[in-house]
Amino acid sequence: MREITYREALREALREEMERDETVFLMGEDIADPFGSAYKVTLGLSPQFGTERVRQTPISEQGFVGAGVGAAVTGMRPVVEIMYIDFATMAMDQIANQAAKLRYMSGGQAKVPLVIRTQGGPGRSSAAQHAQSLEAWFAHIPGLLVAMPSTPYDAKGLLKTAIRLDDPVVFIEQKLLYNTEGPVPEEEYTLPFGEADVKREGSDCTVVATSMTVLKALKAADILEREGISVEVVDPRTLFPLDIETITASVCKTSRVVVTHEAVERCGFGAEIVAQIAQTAFGYIDAPIQRVCAPSVPPPFAQHMEAFTMIDEHKIADRVRRLVTGEL
């Protein structure tokens, strides 16, 4: 199977859905050529589809997200790009009070087929206002679906599904994933929301990881394999709906679990996963559930300080190692 980048997989998903359905259009800052958005995901789409369907917007998240909500309610399928997830703070009324609530408040009469593509996470010295991991905010809001793909295959399949859904989706990408490569079929496919993926089978400990930390967890599993410790890595892929059944099955098999994500630990989405594991698999757990998350500080600008706060394979491996050997 061919291998393409995460960025190319997203671009293919957008192109295929725009070719398939003329109601699909894009909005965002600098998304048309020659820029093709901040991370070049939409590069080449405006020459093909024109500026009516690849719409440049002013620097006003409040305005263009609101326009996206209105377009979705009136029959279009907009894909709105917020350049950084931090900037979603400017449009939280449109996202949390309008898009998320309209179907419920209309008794199901209104549909809101809106996708909000955005990216978060540290790794490029983007500092405190451009590198946060705010996925827990959106997963907390009834009416929103939340996806966090970790591979090119998942990114393409989930984005195509998101565009076809009749409910608003917050689709979160990580800036360091765009250049990563992986196998992606050339033929048509979609992936369902609410279906986790076991990225690696193991028997001694389950690591539940999201987005960029999935790659770090797989590296940690390689490190620990050389020490005789077998790690199973589970990627939820979507935070809501959450496939707790697959996670529970893994924990029941391994009897130990570490949950990891790039967001700060306090009130991070990992706490929800831990709570649900405690409810569904308590009798199978042989050791305290662990979390490997960022400390409760804003993302630093200085590279050495940012690296200190980031999750890496060594931090995950250390926690798993101590859990399995009984040091915790």
Token output for 258: 């570490």
Q: Among positive and negative, which fits the CA dihedral 30, 91, 143, 76?
A: negative
Catalytic site includes residue 81: no
Domains detected in the chain: 3-183 (3.40.50.970), 197-324 (3.40.50.920)
Residue from 17, 130, 173, 313 carrying the catalytic annotation: 130
pLDDT for position 68: 98
Identify the band that residue 103 occupies on the pLDDT scale cut at 50, 70 and 90.
very high
Instruction: Kindly state the average pLDDT of the residues 113-126.
Output: 96
Residue from 61, 81, 232, 272 carrying the catalytic annotation: 61
Cβ neighbours for 171, distance < 8 A, ≥ 6 positions apart:
115, 116, 117, 118, 147, 158, 159, 162
Give tens-digit pLDDT for 228-261: 999 999 999 999 999 999 999 999 999 999 999 9
Predicted confidence (pLDDT) at residue 319 exceeds the cutoff of 90? yes
Give tens-digit pLDDT for 209-218: 999 999 999 9
Per-residue H/E/C for the chain: CCEEEHHHHHHHHHHHHHHHCCCEEEEECCCCCCCCCCCCCCCCHHHHHCCCCEEECCCCHHHHHHHHHHHHHCCCEEEEEECCHHHHHHHHHHHHHHHCCHHHHCCCCCCCCCEEEEEECCCCCCCCCCCCCCHHHHHCCCCCEEECCCCHHHHHHHHHHHHHCCCCEEEEEEHHHCCCEEECCCCCCCCCCCCCEEEECCCCEEEEECCHHHHHHHHHHHHHHCCCCCEEEEECCEEECCCHHHHHHHHHHHCCEEEEEEEECCCCHHHHHHHHHHHHHHHHCCCCCEEEEECCCCCCCCHHHHHHHCCCHHHHHHHHHHHHCCCC
Give tens-digit pLDDT for 160-197: 999 999 999 999 999 999 999 999 999 999 999 999 99
Catalytic site includes residue 61: yes
Identify the band that residue 297 occupies on the pLDDT scale cut at 50, 70 and 90.
very high
pTM: 0.97
- Phi and psi for 279 in degrees, rounded to 5? -75, -35
Tell me the C-alpha distance between 100 and 212, whole Å.
26
**24-28: strand order across its sheet:** 54-56, 24-28, 77-82, 115-120, 169-174, 145-147, 238-240
Average pLDDT, the chain: 97
pLDDT for position 328: 84
Omega prior to 288 cis, within 30 of 0: no
Contact 104, 282 (CB under 8 A): no
Residue appearing with tokens 């209104």: 110
Predicted confidence (pLDDT) at residue 51 exceeds the cutoff of 90? yes
Give tens-digit pLDDT for 256-291: 999 999 999 999 999 999 999 999 999 999 999 999
